[in-house]
A = this chain, B = another copy of it.
Amino acid sequence: MSKDRPSPDPRPPEPRPEGYDPGVFAPFAVTVDVVLLTVVERQLKVLLIQRGHPPYAGAWALPGGFVQPDEDLADAAARELLEETGIGQDRSRLLQLGAYGQPDRDPRMRVVTVAYGAVVARLSEVPRGGSDAAHAELVPVADVQSDRLPLAFDHRRIVGDAVARLRAELDTSDVAVGFCPPEFTIRELREVYEAILQTELDSGNFQRKVTQRKGYLTPTERRVTPGERGGRPATLWRAGDAGD
């Protein structure tokens, strides 16, 4: 990658693996953070943990932590999510959002974090299998974006970027079905869209748009029994072939 160049590094050179020039390689910490989103009662929520130690002790933050020396980034994200919240997520379902590396983003040392996005079906409560996360909770994304609920580090920005990315990919990818349980009604899927886009969608047009999209949904034989106030029973659908 890089070759000999003047050594502008004010720090004493670290002992280093052979082959790299001293004075050029400064050690960084690399972490991963996970933006886990879910829709509960028509509201988009993000999973946060309450920090137990400084800096930002007591503040809310994204689950995440250090990448281990021989660990892939996505694996680290999955592991941290499991350790801190008890939620197991396949690494293939984690979408990389980007790297955040402003020099002062951590007050103590240079940390570059790689953010990952994850999506789960309506999760009402956090499993609490986490090793030692002080506290994990689902909070409305709106509270984060309005800054009514301040986050540690640059995590508010990361959440904002994640939501923007989610909105952009709603129509072109299969993310939305990730917010639904294995079998779901079109209404349920529509409410996911509405929570994310913050708009109302025409139910009839949505129905067509989503059922006609190839490989997106597959119908089951089962129907749902209507609520107390009646109504035609809705078909249950599964994620389509393309989403597997």
Q: Which residues of A contact B (CB under 8 A)?
A: 1-12, 14-20, 22, 24-31, 33, 49, 51-55, 61, 63-73, 80, 83-84, 96, 98-99, 101-103, 106-114, 131-134, 153
Chain B min CB distance to A185 (Å): 31
> Residue of B at shortest CB range from A26?
B69
This chain's copy number in the assembly: 2
Interface of A is mostly: loop
Q: Are B9 and A80 in contact (CB under 8 A)?
A: no
User: What is the CA–CA distance of A93 and B108 in the complex, to the nearest angstrom?
Assistant: 30
> Residue of B at shortest CB range from A73?
B101
User: What is the CA–CA distance of A157 and B155 in the complex, to the nearest angstrom?
Assistant: 29
Pairs across A and B, CB under 8 Å, 24 listed: A3-B52, A5-B14, A5-B27, A5-B65, A6-B27, A8-B68, A9-B68, A17-B83, A17-B108, A17-B131, A17-B132, A18-B49, A18-B63, A18-B65, A20-B53, A20-B108, A20-B109, A24-B66, A25-B66, A26-B67, A28-B67, A98-B98, A98-B99, A99-B114
Residues of B within 8 A of A49 (CB): 18
Ranked nearest first, the 5 interchain pairs of A and B with the lowest CB-CB distance are: A2-B65, A27-B27, A99-B99, A73-B101, A17-B109
Q: Are A28 and B26 in contact (CB under 8 A)?
A: no
Chain B min CB distance to A64 (Å): 5
Q: Are A64 and B99 in contact (CB under 8 A)?
A: no
Given the interface pairs A19-B55, A20-B108, A28-B27, the reply to whether A72 lies near B101 with Cβ below 8 Å is: yes
- A31 interface neighbour in B1, B9, B53, B70, Cβ under 8 Å: B1
> Residue of B at shortest CB range from A76?
B101
